[in-house]
Amino acid sequence: MKATVEYNSRKIIVDISNPIDISIPIDSSKKNVNAWYTDGPKISAETQEGYEISVVNGAVVNFNSIHFNPHSHITHTECVGHITKEVHSVNKNLKYFIFLAEVVTIAPLFHNGDFLIGVKQLKTALKNKKRDAIVIRTLPNLEDKKSMEYSNTNPTYLSEKAAIYLREKGIKHLLIDLPSVDKEKDDGKLLSHNAFWNTAGEIRMDATITEFIYVPNDVEDGEYLLNLMIAPFENDATPSKPVLYEILK
């Protein structure tokens, strides 16, 4: 099924019958992705007066509560409120949800004992393309990313220069298949978060970072239409479901 979308005065034809979901869900019955030294998420039936509210237990409905942290357990989208003293809600600052995105695949560089994504790699991948969003898939791209325990593993991260480049290139929405754009332990500097949101200057309130995505291997690099769907939480970060659509014309 095809649909025509007018985007920045450009008519784009997309295949809406083949959405490419690049989110990682919460699944408390299996090994869930995890980071930042937390326990796993919990999904369980509410109990009232000693009675478990579930259909299997005789109730007329299932009535589950969910305990999780968006930064630790699920694909999530965050705004600058993640790193500022002032409270900022991603739900209030992300006002548009359809963007032109470029999917790029990056083999991280080994530098001073770390694996990182450098500015030269992004310049090579993006060249002179103008995009609102970038979707970064790192190599190796194993299914393990959906259930990895990242705590104390020093995962790959984005260099500060790379974050500055993306900001200066006009990328508003950065999506990556890692727990963070910054080094796991960096003495609280959060260089790439700060650089991307430009906290030392005019803060980019409408810019977002989405972490813990997973781009399947059969998705080719290139231009896509991105629908960045978020849950309406008034919080610095919220669970999200980014979906890509192939551009046919």
* pLDDT at 1 (0 to 100): 85
Q: 126-129 — which CB contacts under 8 Å span 24+ positions?
A: 126/102, 126/169, 129/102, 129/223
Residue with tokens 């906290």: 199
* pLDDT at 9 (0 to 100): 85
Q: Tell the burial category of 231 from Cβ atoms under 10 Å away from its Cβ (0-12, 13-18, 19+).
A: middle
The arithmetic mean of pLDDT across residues 145-163, rounded, is: 97
* pLDDT at 3 (0 to 100): 86
DSSP 93: H
Segment 180-194, tens digit of pLDDT? 999 999 999 999 999
Share of the chain above pLDDT 70, in %: 100
Q: Is the model's pTM score more than 0.85?
A: yes
The arithmetic mean of pLDDT across residues 102-127, rounded, is: 97
Indicate if the pLDDT at residue 126 is higher than 90: yes
In CATH, 2-33+69-246 is 3.30.70.270: no
* pLDDT at 29 (0 to 100): 83
* pLDDT at 152 (0 to 100): 97
Which pLDDT band, with edges at 50, 70 and 90, does 7 fall under?
confident
Domain boundaries, the chain: 2-33+69-246
Segment 11-65, tens digit of pLDDT? 999 999 999 999 999 998 889 999 999 999 999 999 998 899 999 999 999 999 9
